[in-house]
Amino acid sequence: MGEIVVVRHGATEWSRSGRHTGVTDLPLLPDGEGDARRLRPVLAGRPITHAFISPRTRARRTAELAGLTDGSVEWVIDPDLVEVDYGAYEGRTTKEISVELGRPWSLWSDGTVPGETPGETLKQVADRVDRVLDRVRPLLAGGDVALVAHGHVLRILTARWLGLGPEAGALFPLETGRYGLLGFEHHWPALTGWNTGCP
């Protein structure tokens, strides 16, 4: 049985400064491209048969530089893997939001509020990633499946893989250019590797 390789895109200007990046389509920084290139030999050493990629530029470029779109892997762009829609919190840092509210803010307990976009609840994101997992599970019989996307959406997907509520994504920080492994222990879904970097 294969594993799910969850890959967070490389660094962008906003990820570097801690600004929440949902619908804004930013490119990778040069060192973000370096992050993606360092993933290539690691991913090439795994039996990856399929890749599902967020449509955002930062994820697509990461997948390309990591070797997932060069023809050796069957890949698709999956809109269900876009990042959380942060609504009015788009482009803002946790510190800025907390100052405005006069108390610490957390996506995991407070959620989003409408702005130029409606924002999303954790439940709405969980519904999206549950659909992704429904598509991925049958493919694991043939090897690994890579998911190239964004920090919060992949954390929620990880929680759902483990049978937890979406708010449990708080437990799984994932840095840019890092990957995690979702597999099995005795046929039970398990976290088999997490927040792993490349040399």
Instruction: DSSP letter for 141, please.
Output: G
Q: What is the pLDDT of residue 29?
A: 98
What are the structural domain ranges in the chain? 4-196
Query: What's this model's pTM, rounded to 2 decimal places?
Result: 0.97
Cα dist from 8 to 1, 75, 115, whole Å: 23, 16, 26
pLDDT in tens, 84-112: 999 999 999 999 999 999 999 999 999 99
Its CATH architecture, for the domain 4-196, is 3-Layer(aba) Sandwich (3.40)
pLDDT in tens, 129-166: 999 999 999 999 999 999 999 999 999 999 999 999 99
Asked about 9 being catalytic, the answer comes back as yes
Which entry of 3, 9, 33, 90 is annotated as an active-site residue?
A: 9
Does the pLDDT value for residue 198 go beyond 80? Answer: no
Q: Among candidates 166, 184, 165, which has minimal Cα distance to 4?
A: 184
Instruction: List the strands of the sheet with 179-185, edge to edge.
Output: 74-77, 48-53, 144-149, 4-8, 179-185, 188-196
Asked about 100 being catalytic, the answer comes back as no
> How is 119-132 classified by DSSP, letter by letter?
---HHHHHHHHHHH
Q: How far apart are CA 19 and CA 156, in angstroms?
A: 19
* pLDDT bucket at 199, cuts 50 / 70 / 90: low
Q: Which residues contact 124 (CB under 8 A, 6 or more apart)?
A: none
Q: What is the pLDDT of residue 197?
A: 79
With both helix axes pointing from N to C terminus, report the angle between 57-65 and 30-44 in degrees, rounded to the nearest 10. Answer: 50
Q: What is the pLDDT of residue 178?
A: 97
Which entry of 33, 83, 90, 120 is annotated as an active-site residue?
A: 83
pLDDT in tens, 32-71: 999 999 999 999 999 999 999 999 999 999 999 999 999 9
